[in-house]
Structures are given as C-alpha cells and as structure tokens.
Structure 1
Amino acid sequence: MAGNKAITLEEIKNEIVDLERIPIEEVFEQLKCTKQGLSSEEGVSRLLIFGPNKLEEKKESKILKFLGFMWNPLSWVMEMAAVMAIALANGDNKLPDWQDFVGIVVLLVINSTISFIEENNAGNAAAALMAGLAPKTKVLRDGCWSEEDAAILVPAARASRTENQDAIDAAMVGMLADPKEARAETIRRALNLGVNVKMITGDQLAIAKETGRRLGMGTNMYPSSSLLGENKDASIAALPVDELIEKADGFAGVFPEHKYEIVKKLQERKHICGMTGDGVNDAPALKKADIGIAVADATDAARSASDIVLTEPGLSVIISAVLTSRAIFQRMKNYTIYAVSITIRIVLGFMLIALIWRFDFSPFMVLIIAILNDGTIMTISKDRILTSSQINLNWCFVERPGLLLVGAFVIAQLVATVIAVYADWGFARIKAERLGITFSRIRLLSLPRKIMKLLNKPRGALKSQGSANCTL
C-alpha cells in the first residue's frame, strides 16, 4: 500500500490511502502524530487543510435574497403595471404616467423590505440557536484534555467518546425517582388544553403506573406485549391495537420499534402527534411524529430528528409552544378572513360602480386604496389574541382589538380624509371636496361599518379539554 512511502496531508484529505485498513503504527506514521494527540499549532494548521468537522452551509447573498421577494406572481403583476405606466402614454401628446410608476415601485420596495427584514431576523435567530446547540467534545491538545466544539476535530486529533464505552454491570439497584411538582403541573396544564398525554417508557409496568399516578396522568397502562396482541387483559381482549393505543394512558417495557409503531397508529387515527425524547432509540419515533421535541441534553441523533430542541431542563416550555402555535394559527385565520372579505368587497364595489355609474378609477387612486388596505391588514400579525383554554363569549375592549390594529384603522381613515379634502391632483383625477361633505360620508358610511368589523373580528379562544384532537 503506502507503507514505505510517506504521504502528505493533502493526499490524506483526498483519501488516496485507506487508513482503516493499515496497522495502527502505520496510521500514526502517515498522520505524523503520536498517542498524545496534537499540539494547538498543529491543530490549527490541519484545520486550514481539512476544514471544519461539519457540513458546509451555503450562504445566500442578502442582495439576492432581497431581490427574491420581488420574484413572485403578485410582484410580476406590479412590475408589469409599473412598466406599462411609463411605456404607454395616457393619450396623444401626453407624458408617461410617472406618478403611478413611482407609487407602484415604492409599494413594491416596501413590501419586499418588510419581508426581507422578517426573514433575516428569523434566520439570525435560527443561527444563534444552532450555535448554542453545537456539539461539544473532549479533545487532547498539548497534553491536556479540554472541551471544545466538535467542529475543530481534524485527522490525528485524539477525542474522548462519552457514549457506549462498554460498561460492565456490577449490580442491579431498583430506583424510583420522585416526579417533580413542576412536571405534574405541566401535565395538568396540557390536559386542560385538550392535549392527551401518554407515557411510553422502557421501565417496568409497576414503575410506570406509579409515576403516572403521581403525575396525575392516569394509570391505565399496559406492557409492550399488548401492542403485539399478546398477554391482554380480559377487559381489553376485544379491542383492536389501534383503539387500545388511543385509550391507554401509556405503555411500559417498550423498545424503539414500539415507540415508532405507537406514533404511527395514533397518526392513522387522525391525531396530531407530538413526541418527546432524548436518546438515540427515540430518534425514529421523533422523526415520525408530527412534532418531534428533543429535551435538554438530548443526543445529537435525537436533536437532528426533532422539530423542536429544548435548551433548558423541564417540559413547561411545551405548554408555551402550544399556546404560541394556537395564537399564530388564529392570527393566520384572522388574516385570511379579513383579506378575503375586504378583497371581495373592494373588487365587487369597484365593478358595480364602474358598470352602473361608469365611474373612472385612476390607477393612482387604486394604488392609494391598496396601500391603506395593506397597512391595516399587516397589523393583524400583532393583534391581541385571547390565550385561554376556555371559550369566552363576553367582549372586553382590553382583549380585542389590539392597539396596533386600531391605530392602523385610524391612520387609514385620516389619510383618506386628508386626500379627499385637500388633494387636487390632476394626474390622479382627484378633486378636493368640501370638508363637511367628506366627514359626513365617513361618519355615515365608513366608520360604523369599520367599527362593526372590528367588534366582530374572529377571536382566538383556545380549545378546552376534550375538544382538541391532539396527542403528546
């Protein structure tokens, strides 16, 4: 092979020699190292040659990311309208419609800027989280063991493996950890929110039942053999396996394949299934679940298979995640209802006015209406949502609507009033009206309708126990 010829580190990088198939003494010789590991200087130099011990992440240009928000069907329509505004004259011997062109471009840039800022903030938060969750390792450098990022490991570095070190069992000791009061409170809050909590553990059945009793999650638990249709009690002998899994409070003595099967059966019963775990054996079930949650100090395999990684001990943050996700869903629902209803009203209203009264809407007037309408819709993402497990039919102003939504509504009305009263723009075909007439129209037509729409806005009451089809 390469026993009599020393190879360079570049050749090792290109995998010219298979280090796994040569004697260990020759490996040390080819890697130019000893059993004492590397020095700090050698580690830095080899890091420059081999690169960091992690997958390369392609960084996207921020300019291209910003321009990407201008590349979608809605932006294409706006861009075509802007081009037509300057390419087509409004008539013989008339200049291009520069005002409409500038207005459309400004609106397009504002929408792209807002989307870029939100996307960039989300990316920075995700990067900070990944940096905090970067795996660590113990490495021997300069004759001393120290904890470093796993990304600095290079060929010939000596690291300590903390898992699967061939431990020898010396005795068996029975233990039962007393569940913390905070965990019992977390279980109670989850049940009140309609989340059905099940225990899936490899412990003995008696331990699982006692733990479930102390946590207040029930003692209707069965051994893993019942999942295979074996050793069933007479009371559950006639139940199919999927129905048994749905009604049980938990299972004991399970193996990794059992966890995966339980999650699969629950999903087949149309449940939204979440799974918590920390070990390598939990990874298949975490990957299969709709929401995989890796607890603090979980293994890298469990983290990579999960959708959510907890950074602090405890499960109470899961309740916050449930409330936050339901609030986000309610805001999305509110946005959809408002956007669809206001779009139908505007399109239908413009069509009737144009067909019946032959009213000519200038592009600039339509642009102003779109800007004011979009500004009001954007505030729904910050609107106040009622985060309660019980549906409350009573109305209270401090609960809804949010001040930001009310402020956007007031600003839109003021801007529309100022334009209607004082604007006298020939290019937009807008003529100023008397102040009294304008305010009368707003009072009689617009304001009551807006207030009723705010008062009857869809509310974000969270589901109470038993009404949510969710399992954790």
Structure 2
Amino acid sequence: MDDDGLGKPLLGRESLSTQDIDLGNLPLEEVFEQLSTSRCGLSSADAAERLQLFGANRLEEKRENKVLKFISFMWNPLSWVMEAAAVMALVLANGGSQGPDWEDFVGIVCLLIINSTISFIEENNAGNAAASLMARLAPRTKVLRDGQWQEMDASVLVPGDIISIRLGDIVPADARLLEGDPLKIDQSALTGESLPVTKRTGDLVFTGSTCKHGEIEAVVIATGIRSFFGKAAHLVDSTEVVGHFQKVLTCIGNFCICSIAVGVIVEVIIMFAVQHRSYREGINNVLVLLIGGIPIAMPTVLSVTLAIGSHRLSQQGAITKRMTAIEEMAGMDVLCCDKTGTLTLNHLTVDKNLVEVFSGGMDRDMIILLAARASRVDNQDAIDMAIINMLSDPKEARANITEVHFLPFNPVDKRTAITYIDSGGNWFRVSKGAPEQILNLCFNKDDIAEKAQRVVDSFAERGLRSLAVAYQEVPERSRHGDGGPWVFCGVLPLFDPPRHDSADTIRRALDLGVCVKMITGDHLAIAKETGRRLGTGTNMHPSAALFGRRGGDEGAAAAVEELVESADGFAGVFPEHKHEIVRLLQASGHVCGMTGDGVNDAPALKKADIGIAVSDATDAARAAADIVLTEPGLGVIVCAVLTSRAIFQRMRNYTVRLGPPCHAIASTTNVQFGYWDLLVMISTLPMQIYAVCITIRIVVGFVLLASIWEYDFPPFMVLIIAILNDGN
C-alpha cells in the first residue's frame, strides 16, 4: 500500500463495515487495505465521515425517563389495589343520592404520590452518588490526523486511525501494533491475568489495557461497542434482572389481591343478595376491604428504611446504587469473588521466604539486592517494581555503586543486565531474567540444571513465576568486556499477593453463612495457590471442566450444576463464563453476590443478585454493579452484610409484627364480642410472613363484621387508622 495515501477516498460503507471481518488476524497490509487507511493516518474529513458511520468511541449509557421512572413506583400489585380503591371512591361511590367519596379519593392519591416520591428521590440520590463517584475527565490519546500528531479526546477515534501508545497509557481502542519494539501490556482488567503480557508487531491490544513498558504506534481496528470492551458491555446491557426483594413484594401483592378479591365477592353476595343493603353501604364496605386489606404504608416505610440503610452503608465505604440491593445482600449465601485486584493487590511481589539460594556465601537479602541492581528504579515494569519494593529503601539498588551500562529487557534474551563499579573500584555485571536464559550463561550449568529445574517446577505448581539471578566479575573494566565466569546466585518466586485483610474477610464471611467462590481469568495453578493462602480451598477447576461437559441431556446438566455447587472456584474463565456460573448458582436457589473490578467482571456483576464493584474498579464494573466500594479490600463487604441484615431485621419486624390495624379499629369503635379473641388467636399462627397476616385479619374481620353484625365502617377512618398503624 502506498504510505502517502493520506486523504485517499473512502471505500464504500459496506466495505468499511468491520463486523464480519477478522481484522485481529489478518496481515497488517490487508488490515490497512480493508480499513482504507495508511501509516500516515486519516484526514479530518475521512475521520468525520467514519465517526458518523461507526459512532463515538464510548459506551452510551441508557438514560431513564424520569417521569416514567416516577410512574413505575406506582406500578405494582399493592399500588394496583390502592388505585382500584381510588377509582371506586370517585366513580362507583357516586350513587345512592350521594356524591363521590372525595375524602378517600384524595387521601389515597396523596398516599400514592408520597410513596412514589420518597422511593424516587432516594433511589435517584443513590444513583447520583454513584454517578459522581464514576465521573472523571474523558481520556485523551495521541492520534495521527492530517499528517500531524495531535492530542485528542479518545471518543473521536475511528477504525483506521494511527495512534501512539507509550508507557503509562491506557489503550483507547482495539488496535494492531505496527513496527517497533515490543510492549508490555497489563490487561488484568480485561482477562484477569495478573502478569503483564508481551505484545509485538502485528499483535492485538484491547481497549482498557495499560502499557507498562515501551512505546509504539498502532492502527485502530475497533471502537465503541465493537471493541472487546464494548462486547462485554453489550452482554451487561442484555442482562435483565428482577431483584429478590421485588419478587417478594410481588408475592405479597398477589396474595393481598387474591385475598381481597375473595373477601369482596363473599361480602357483595351477602350484603346485596342476602341482606339487601343499600348501594352506598355496599360500596363503603368494599372500600374498607380495599383500603384496610393491604399494608397501605408499607412501600413508604420500607423505602425510608432502605434509604436510611443506604446512608449508613455509604458511611462505611459502600455506595448503594440500587436501594433494594440491601435486602438482597442480607440474604446472600454465595459470594463469587474475582481474584486479581479483588482478593489480591494486582501487583507482583517476591516471597522472600521462598527465595532459593544456589551460591555459597550469599543469603536471600543479597540475592534480592543483586536482582534490584539489575532493575530499573524509575520505570513501571511490574517485575522491576516488585523487586525494588522488597528493599527497605529503593535507593539501596544504586547505593555505593556507579552504573556503567544497563541492558533493558528484550524478548530475545529475556533478561536484563547491569554493569557497575562498586565502592572498591571493582567491576561487576549482574543479570536477572528467565531461569533457562540465566542458566545458559553460567559455567556450571550442567551441575545445577537439575536442581534449578526442580525449583522452577515447584514454584510453577504453586502458581509462582520464577526469576533467576547471576553475576560475573569484569576484569577488563569495560562495558564491552566478556567478563569472567557467570555465577548462578538463586531463584526468586514472583506472585500477586493477597490483600492483607482478604483471608480474615473470607473467614468472617463463612461465619456469616456466606460461601466464597473464586472466579478468575488467571491460570489454575495461580488460583489454587491463592485459594490455599486465603483459605477458600483448592478445589478449583478450569473453565473447560465446566463448559466442556455441557450437553443436551439432563445428566450432563445435573453434573454441571453439581460441579458449580461443590467447586471452590474456577480458573481461566472469560466474561460469558462468569455470567453463566452466576446463572447456574441462581438456578440452584442461591442468592448470589459477585465482586469484581475489571471489564471482564461486568456481565456477572449485572447478572448477580448483588453486584459489588471494589475500590479502583473500572467504570464498566462500577456501572454494572449494585454497590460500589470506596475503600480498598473486602472487609467493608462483611460490614455491609452485617449492616444489611440489621436493616432487614427492622423491615421484618415491621412486616411480621403482631397487632394489625384490626386492634386499633376494634378499640376505636368499642366493638366487643366473644369471637374477636378467637379471630386474633387464629390470625397469630405462623402464617405471619411479611405482611400477609394483616391482609388475612382485615379481610376476615371486616367480612364477619359486615356480614354478621352488619356494622359499617367509614372508609376514611379506616384509611387514617391504617396509615397511622402502618407507619409506627
């Protein structure tokens, strides 16, 4: 392709559609041809047209209509009964030489509006708190436009753009790397891998990953919802979840409607067919059943209780985006935890106690110091930072020595090296890197190769990465000198350490009856080692063990469900796997929580009954979660569970208490008869689940009073008493 093709005409829209073309695996020259671009980038006119075709490089948030959101709080079974009573008070009560029952109508409508307003305001406040937490400046990137490098908002990137990626940059779009030195990319937020991966010319880098080493140019091949990031977000958007709390309220409402309907039918038949009572008397008694037969203030009371609980959780470092998640957290019995960044710190460290010493006269501290000398102090390489951080002071790495030359890491040699002069004027060279490469340098490699391999294999079985160190004297006193024989010093184990409070948090969760399962995209050995250190168990399985045995027969489905139930966790999983694991746990009757911090966790966070985005989570994870943590670690989750259970107990005390409105009505009207105590005693049986006891007592009590004693209650009085009684 001609490299001076800046501003060449675009291909047709059909040709530019990248959905059916695997641009991630095509040769680079074919990628340029398919995207109708060149290494000189796009012109502003081309970019503007492509922006219209592909859309902005961002994920558009679904905006809820505020009016419809407000009205939705009036659309549930309990509200339907209240709305039916309001219509009856205005329309059907207009008879028998009397006008509409305006008092009841206005009272019911006001109560509906108050219920909806409180729920709307509190949930809106919770959403605003989460939105302010996630708000930040739009990321910017260097892009080649009109033949010049410009810093632009990442949202205007389009397929075909040429961008620059360098140390510390967050990759703004899916892209293919052009010619240049290899990069080290941290893509833990996408795949769950704790170690940076090396990317070379032609390799694919994903939106949201971070450049840890190097600088290179790349051609954008996918943006927005077409990117790897966007596909995960689309899976989130396609997930429809009905909360456990909403299911409970729906069941209560359905029971109330059925009970009231039966009572109304019985009462109407007796009053009109048997007793021949007046039209208005019958309507008033039906209104009494409709108004008194439901826990009329329950939505308001529960909304206020949840709002208070949401405020308490925010003080503990947990921002609630969906208030009903509090009830679901209280009932959570399984917590699926992402490993990288959630249970662990998401940065490498050296386990000093496991450092293997090979050279006589050296100890572990000396080996760590030599490895630190062969590291860059001022860069963001994960391995170099892990070793430097093992020193009490990073300055020790260059203390009392004079650096002559530093050889940076490259994928061919797979090692770094430093030539330096010590305080005595002696010249040395130290190298660190892959054990096999360091071993090949040493004069006695045949004598120590077997032992070194055993150490490396032992570390690998525990999910630890090995790093070897060697040194030599340089008698030539020159950076180019061959030096003396290399001495193999030792092997250091690298791993992503657990957070300091993770093990204690998991133990406390188990004490609360919450089973913790680790779900990670990292390797199986690393997952098992992390589980061993944290106490979650080592009964881990690769995702292939779960999804490789899926079939159409019932036996295969049962085996999958049993495996998910018994496993301590799964490794090597992708976003759709996490989503499916949560679904299977929910299908088994569990109230399932999910914690995570990366884009790869977002679908499962959305699917779970309670999604928890940990501190420093990506925007995608925060957007999908129900609760966003502002404090690091999982300790706040246990506090949130305890707080949620205390809040739920208050709600339960309200909904399952003794003393329905019938007691107040009986004492107010001074109705005394022998069967009343029997009625109260019957109604205190263990059917008092949620608010059903209130409905049973009201319906049975008023039907008996109206049918046997022909007692008429003023509907407005029942409305006032019900509100006062429910609101206690």
Task: Specify whether residues 354 and 213 from structure 1 end up closer, same or farther in structure 2 by C-alpha distance, changes over 3 A only.
Answer: same
1:141-220 map, 5 Å: 162-163=170-171, 167-168=183-184, 169=198, 170=411, 171=414, 174=466, 175-220=494-539
Distance in structure 1 (CA, Å) of the matches to 2:592 and 2:568? 14
The answer on 1:275 being equivalent to 2:594 is yes
Cα shift at 1:129: 1.0
Query: Residue 112 of structure 2 corresponds to which residue in structure 1?
Result: 111
Task: Specify whether residues 82 and 288 from structure 1 end up closer, same or farther in structure 2 by C-alpha distance, changes over 3 A only.
Answer: closer
Distance in structure 2 (CA, Å) of the matches to 1:197 and 1:355? 56
Distance in structure 1 (CA, Å) of the matches to 2:87 and 2:499? 60
Do the aligned partners of 1:221 and 1:250 also contact (CA within 8 Å) in 2?
yes
Task: Specify whether residues 79 and 327 from structure 1 end up closer, same or farther in structure 2 by C-alpha distance, changes over 3 A only.
Answer: farther
Query: Residue 381 of structure 1 corresponds to which residue in structure 2?
Result: none
Do the aligned partners of 2:6 and 2:37 also contact (CA within 8 Å) in 1?
no
1:384-407 CA-partner distances (Å, limit 9, x unpaired): xxxxxxxxxxxxxxxxxxxxxxxx
Task: Specify whether residues 373 and 197 from structure 1 end up closer, same or farther in structure 2 by C-alpha distance, changes over 3 A only.
Answer: same
Q: Which amino acid aligns with 2:725?
A: T
Cα shift at 1:116: 1.2
Distance in structure 2 (CA, Å) of the matches to 1:182 and 1:319? 11
Cα shift at 1:274: 2.8
Distance in structure 1 (CA, Å) of the matches to 2:613 and 2:59? 21
Query: Residue 459 of structure 2 corresponds to which residue in structure 1?
Result: none
Query: Residue 139 of structure 2 corresponds to which residue in structure 1?
Result: 137
SS at match of 2:594: strand
- Which of 30, 33, 39 is the matching residue for 2:45? 30
SS at match of 1:198: strand
Query: Residue 79 of structure 1 corresponds to which residue in structure 2?
Result: 87
SS at match of 2:43: helix
Task: Specify whether residues 289 and 182 from structure 1 end up closer, same or farther in structure 2 by C-alpha distance, changes over 3 A only.
Answer: same
1:137-181 CA-partner distances (Å, limit 9, x unpaired): 12569x9969x8x7x758899897613775353446542243233
SS at match of 1:293: strand
- Which of 321, 335, 349 is the matching residue for 2:655? 335
SS at match of 2:128: helix
TM-score (norm 1): 0.54
Greater relative CO, 1 or 2 (CA 8 Å, sep 6+): 2
Distance in structure 1 (CA, Å) of the matches to 2:37 and 2:702? 83
Do the aligned partners of 1:283 and 1:305 also contact (CA within 8 Å) in 2?
yes
1:1-16 map, 5 Å: none
Do the aligned partners of 1:275 and 1:285 also contact (CA within 8 Å) in 2?
yes
1:46-88 CA-partner distances (Å, limit 9, x unpaired): 9xxx999663755646599469849844223213303455x43
Do the aligned partners of 1:223 and 1:252 also contact (CA within 8 Å) in 2?
yes
1:261-314 CA-partner distances (Å, limit 9, x unpaired): 544554454433333333344445445544443333334554455444444432
- Indicate the percent of aligned positions where both proteins have the same amino acid: 45
Task: Specify whether residues 79 and 331 from structure 1 end up closer, same or farther in structure 2 by C-alpha distance, changes over 3 A only.
Answer: farther
Cα shift at 1:23: 4.0
Cα shift at 1:89: 5.7
Q: Which amino acid aligns with 2:60?
A: L
TM-score (norm 2): 0.38
The answer on 1:247 being equivalent to 2:566 is yes
Distance in structure 2 (CA, Å) of the matches to 1:16 and 1:220? 50
The answer on 1:298 being equivalent to 2:626 is no
Cα shift at 1:123: 1.5
Q: Which amino acid aligns with 1:314?
A: G
Structure 1, unpaired ranges of 5+? 8-14, 34-45, 231-238, 379-407, 409-472
Distance in structure 2 (CA, Å) of the matches to 1:276 and 1:210? 20
Do the aligned partners of 2:134 and 2:619 also contact (CA within 8 Å) in 1?
no
Task: Specify whether residues 139 and 128 from structure 1 end up closer, same or farther in structure 2 by C-alpha distance, changes over 3 A only.
Answer: farther
1:85-100 map, 5 Å: 87-88=94-95, 90=97, 96=99, 100=101
Q: Which amino acid aligns with 1:322?
A: V
Task: Specify whether residues 349 and 205 from structure 1 end up closer, same or farther in structure 2 by C-alpha distance, changes over 3 A only.
Answer: closer
Query: Residue 356 of structure 1 corresponds to which residue in structure 2?
Result: 708
The answer on 1:367 being equivalent to 2:716 is yes
Distance in structure 1 (CA, Å) of the matches to 2:703 and 2:583? 51
Q: Which amino acid aligns with 1:340?
A: V
Do the aligned partners of 2:610 and 2:627 also contact (CA within 8 Å) in 1?
yes
Do the aligned partners of 1:82 and 1:105 also contact (CA within 8 Å) in 2?
no
Distance in structure 2 (CA, Å) of the matches to 1:200 and 1:298? 16
Task: Specify whether residues 245 and 28 from structure 1 end up closer, same or farther in structure 2 by C-alpha distance, changes over 3 A only.
Answer: same
Do the aligned partners of 1:222 and 1:250 also contact (CA within 8 Å) in 2?
yes
Distance in structure 1 (CA, Å) of the matches to 2:7 and 2:496? 59
Query: Residue 55 of structure 1 corresponds to which residue in structure 2?
Result: 60
Do the aligned partners of 1:294 and 1:306 also contact (CA within 8 Å) in 2?
yes
Do the aligned partners of 1:107 and 1:371 also contact (CA within 8 Å) in 2?
no
Do the aligned partners of 2:56 and 2:156 also contact (CA within 8 Å) in 1?
no
Distance in structure 2 (CA, Å) of the matches to 1:223 and 1:56? 34
SS at match of 1:181: coil
Structure 2, unpaired ranges of 5+? 18-33, 144-148, 178-182, 185-197, 199-410, 415-433, 435-464, 467-493, 550-557, 657-688
SS at match of 2:129: helix
Q: Which amino acid aligns with 2:515?
A: N
Distance in structure 1 (CA, Å) of the matches to 2:645 and 2:704? 39
Distance in structure 1 (CA, Å) of the matches to 2:538 and 2:57? 50
Say what the alpha-carbon RMSD is for the aligned residues: 4.9
Distance in structure 2 (CA, Å) of the matches to 1:264 and 1:56? 24
Do the aligned partners of 1:66 and 1:113 also contact (CA within 8 Å) in 2?
no
Do the aligned partners of 2:130 and 2:628 also contact (CA within 8 Å) in 1?
no
Instruction: Report the number of matched residues.
Output: 335
Q: Which has the higher helix share?
A: 1
Task: Specify whether residues 344 and 157 from structure 1 end up closer, same or farther in structure 2 by C-alpha distance, changes over 3 A only.
Answer: farther
SS at match of 2:495: coil
Distance in structure 2 (CA, Å) of the matches to 1:133 and 1:76? 42
Task: Specify whether residues 225 and 339 from structure 1 end up closer, same or farther in structure 2 by C-alpha distance, changes over 3 A only.
Answer: closer
Task: Specify whether residues 205 and 28 from structure 1 end up closer, same or farther in structure 2 by C-alpha distance, changes over 3 A only.
Answer: closer
Task: Specify whether residues 297 and 16 from structure 1 end up closer, same or farther in structure 2 by C-alpha distance, changes over 3 A only.
Answer: same
Distance in structure 1 (CA, Å) of the matches to 2:563 and 2:513? 19
1:449-470 CA-partner distances (Å, limit 9, x unpaired): xxxxxxxxxxxxxxxxxxxxxx
Distance in structure 1 (CA, Å) of the matches to 2:634 and 2:610? 14
Distance in structure 2 (CA, Å) of the matches to 1:32 and 1:198? 46
Distance in structure 1 (CA, Å) of the matches to 2:581 and 2:698? 50
Distance in structure 1 (CA, Å) of the matches to 2:104 and 2:586? 50
Do the aligned partners of 1:273 and 1:290 also contact (CA within 8 Å) in 2?
yes
Cα shift at 1:133: 1.5
Distance in structure 2 (CA, Å) of the matches to 1:131 and 1:17? 41
Cα shift at 1:183: 1.5
Task: Specify whether residues 183 and 139 from structure 1 end up closer, same or farther in structure 2 by C-alpha distance, changes over 3 A only.
Answer: same
Task: Specify whether residues 62 and 157 from structure 1 end up closer, same or farther in structure 2 by C-alpha distance, changes over 3 A only.
Answer: farther
Do the aligned partners of 2:82 and 2:108 also contact (CA within 8 Å) in 1?
no
Distance in structure 2 (CA, Å) of the matches to 1:56 and 1:275? 22
